[in-house]
Amino acid sequence: MRSLSFFFVFLLSLFPILCFSFNPESPTDRRVLVLLDDFSLKSSHSIFFNSLKSRGLNLDFKLSDDPSLSLQRYGQYLYDALIIFSPSTEKFGGSLDLAAVIDFVDSGHDLILAADSTASDLIKNIATECGVDFDEDSSAMVIDHKSYAISGTEGEHTLIVSDDFIQSDAILGETKIEAPVLFKGIAHSVNAANSLVLKVLSASPSAYSANPESKLLSPPLLTGSAISLVSVVQARNNARIMITGSLDLFSNRLLRTAVQKSGSQDKYDKSGNELFVTEISKWVFHERGHLKAVNLRHLRVGETDEPAMYRIKDDLKFSVEIYEWSGKSWEPYVADDVQVQFYMMSPYVLKTLSTNGKGLYHASFKVPDVYGVFQFKVDYHRLGYASLSLSKQIPVRPFRHNEYERFITTAFPYYGASFTMMAGFFIFSILFLYNK
């Protein structure tokens, strides 16, 4: 009886996990683990956290050295996303370590990582695994003497402004970020060999990464637009990662600061940080830019049922429906660059699909005159959007013996010869037998 009630309690405790576990039908993250150096960050970064909470995310705040830290239990992940706001942590508590974080991302979960000038090797290593290299000089900060924020109390030009955003509505939303973003922190560069990392916010050409206190004797490793202030990664499994060298970027103080860029007359009552961090967090938590493709169909022209096989030179119609997740529901996705491939070892046909504006994409083409096992392939990669990669196998056969052309005029002399021969034989056989 006791064990039964224990079992019941256990089931009850599992309930929330079962209810909130990741669901491909609603890809928005629900459970987020926030790792902090110190709980005072909850208060100093409350605007950012509150905006996440107001969007229905379940934030679980933990100290980064909490001995009970764990991302998974019994092989199930307890969280959909991880926010690491603990730059100085040398070692996570509990079972969490570098490998656990990377495994978490590898299994399709999301990550926001913020470092600052106190960034530890652990944090830098996580970033390196994601294709982002922080400046090795631990005392260096991003300095920009041309585009810094004019302020009565900031003389070192380490509080810089940047408005060099990536051009992508998927990542930064449709609202244009008018005010520049304030940044104070360390520089990183994206790995040139990694094609999945994107610079979302770049420094201006006059920026450089150095220690503001000491003289520069050798050229800094990172300068100009090569410095990335905020980068994102979208992995092949659509896990999304955001990495920045400034924890202050999210802080109430910078979110609420009035900003004026040096050398510019435009004054803004509020920096662009709030809009920026809100929009980019929407992207990271799959509230935007997440696509799904359904109802991949193909038909022979004039028919209504999907054939099991095509013959060479058949005319076919291909259609697929693509929807974008808006955070609450699936909305039709409208674009003019979705393409389908008819593929066997290499694409034989690559065609841009036309859309009806309601999510349906279609195209029609003639099956090539090569037989074999083909695939319909939709490989859709667009800046900021989740990549779609779906394929459907379909065999293509050659003509049957009776499907070739008959009564070819060119062959008439041969037929004529045969038939006259036959007529001659018929007459000859009669005359040969009965002539006397």
- Please list every residue from 311 through 350 that binds another protein, using CB under 8 A: 313, 337, 339, 341-342, 347-350
Please say which residue, 2 or 436, places its beta carbon nearer to another protein.
Answer: 436
Residues paired with residue 360 on neighbouring β-strands, in sequence order = 321
- Please list every residue from 109 through 148 that binds another protein, using CB under 8 A: 116, 118, 143-146
- Please list every residue from 244 through 303 that binds another protein, using CB under 8 A: 248, 252-253, 256
Of 195-203, 293-301, 323-331, 354-362, the window that binds another protein (rule: CB under 8 A) is 195-203
Q: In angstroms, give the least distance from the CB of 157 to another protein.
A: 5
φ, ψ of residue 32 in degrees (nearest 5) = -125, 130
Of 65, 97, 129, 164, the residue at the interface with another protein (CB under 8 A) is 65
Please say which residue, 192 or 308, places its beta carbon nearer to another protein.
Answer: 192
- Please list every residue from 38 through 57 that binds another protein, using CB under 8 A: 38-47
How many angstroms separate the CA atoms of 332 and 357, rounded? 7
| Cα distances (Å, whole numbers) of residue 305 to 309, 337, 340 | 12, 27, 20
Q: In angstroms, give the least distance from the CB of 182 to another protein.
A: 11
Q: In the stretch 370-409, what mask flags binding to another protein with x, by CB under 8 A?
A: x----------xxx------------------x-----xx
Of 27, 180, 220, 272, the residue at the interface with another protein (CB under 8 A) is 220
Please say which residue, 77 or 165, places its beta carbon nearer to another protein.
Answer: 165
Of 51, 128, 206, 391, the residue at the interface with another protein (CB under 8 A) is 206
Please say which residue, 26 or 151, places its beta carbon nearer to another protein.
Answer: 151
Q: In angstroms, give the least distance from the CB of 100 to another protein.
A: 20
Please say which residue, 238 or 252, places its beta carbon nearer to another protein.
Answer: 252
Please say which residue, 10 or 425, places its beta carbon nearer to another protein.
Answer: 425
Q: In angstroms, give the least distance from the CB of 431 to another protein.
A: 5
Please say which residue, 48 or 104, places its beta carbon nearer to another protein.
Answer: 48
Q: In angstroms, give the least distance from the CB of 205 to another protein.
A: 6
- Please list every residue from 67 through 86 that binds another protein, using CB under 8 A: 86
